[in-house]
Amino acid sequence: MKNRKLILLRNLAILIVSLLFLTAGAGCIYADQLLNKINYAQPGSAAGADSGSAGIYDPGDTEPDSTAAGLVGGLYHDDAIKNILLLGSDDYQKNDTGRSDSMMLVSIDTRHKKLKVTSFMRDMYVAIPGIGSDKLNAAYSRGGGRAKGAQKVVSTIEANFGIDIDRFVIVDFSAFPKIINRLGGVTITLTSGEAKLINRYSESKKKNLTAGTFTLDGYQARYYSRIRAIGDDFERTQRQRKVFSSLVDKLKSSSLFQINSILSDTLNLVTTNMTKNEIVSLASHSLTYLNYPVSQHRVPADGEYKTGNVYIGKSTRPSDVLIVNLDKCKESLTKFLYENNIPEKTYG
């Protein structure tokens, strides 16, 4: 019983912290205390969340019927693929609803046995349902921030790109360094320019970085993930995926003491519309999912956008935006997520 408790606690930590985030018998009380720290939005409150299965396909079951993949409410959906939108919120200033600083769709594909990560570029100029056209990351603040803002990001991605999103997870700005510091940092290879910016602007007391491979502390890693002064937002999302990968590697070799510290310190900084039962279900299979090969995609991909300047709202100055070819974006995204298990559909 004790060994089982330790294994399942470890699974819970790996799931919640890496995707953003069980025990049996006596351990259930402790697990429930941890789960109670999470901020729960109304289950199924995200647009499209109720269009598919409320649970998730068990990898130990027989292969799901291919007819489970198709269109639900005009959106591509597959019962064997769980799409969870992971949002990094920058609402770290008092009375500021903030914007979704990072938007990654984590897809647990039990049909094709893959873990798929899709980055959505924040500067895409898109239609926000019920509001009007703006940059994608504005959907979070214009929707009201927190759970309502996350729901607006979900409905915006669904409306523009035609894929069904099951659930969302929001991680507060302040959680990032806590998680990484508890794990002893993340290993990242830096360019000279990146090192100079981190030394100058991160909140870390360490200012000795140069070009090369280093273990970054939480503040250094958080600033590294947010760098925009070098390159563009495409490189920025790539940095975020590098930190994500390094974080997962650290979690796989972390101690039970580190896991307990992470959960105790950061679960109160997580908001989700998943239920406790859904989290437990995902946690019980997390090691299986994390051993799936990881595939990556970006929206828009190369050749699917052009840069432009538009006036947004009452602004007197034009904003730099990415004007996307929605037809191409929809086609490449649905093929990435659902592969050959989608019905014929005319784009446009």
CATH number where 312 lies:
3.40.630.190
In the chain, the number of structural domains is 2
pTM of full prediction above 0.85: no
Write the single-letter amino acid at 219.
Y
Q: At what angle do helices 233-252 and 218-226 cross, to 10 degrees?
A: 150
What mean pLDDT do residues 40-47 have? 62
Q: Which two tokens stand for residue 274?
A: 């998943």
Q: Name the least confident of 12-16, 291-295, 314-318.
A: 12-16
Could you report the per-residue pLDDT of 95-144, keeping only the tens digit for each?
Answer: 556 556 689 899 999 999 998 989 999 899 999 999 999 999 899 989 98
Which domain, by its residues, includes 97?
Answer: 2-183+254-338
DSSP 54: S
Q: What percentage of the chain has pLDDT greater than the value 90?
A: 42
d(CA 128, CA 51): 20
Q: Residue 12 has which token pair?
A: 């819970």
Comparison of pLDDT for 164 and 63, the residue scoring more: 164
Same domain, 101 and 228: no
Ranges 27-36, 126-135, 169-178: which has the least confidence: 27-36
Is residue 120 within 8 A of residue 104, CB to CB? The reply is yes
Q: 56 and 29 share a domain?
A: yes
Tens-digit pLDDT profile for residues 204-261: 999 999 999 999 999 999 899 888 788 777 788 888 878 877 877 777 677 767 777 7
Average pLDDT rounded to a whole number, residues 296-321: 92
Same domain, 193 and 99: no
Using the 3D structure, point to which of 203, 238, 253 is the last residue of a domain.
Answer: 253
**Residues 225 and 332 reside in one and the same domain:** no
pLDDT tens digits along 60-93: 555 555 556 788 888 999 999 999 999 987 654 5
DSSP state of 41: P
**Helix, strand or coil for residue 189?**
strand
**Phi, psi for 146 (deg, rounded to 5):** 50, -140
Say yes or no: 143 and 240 in one domain: no
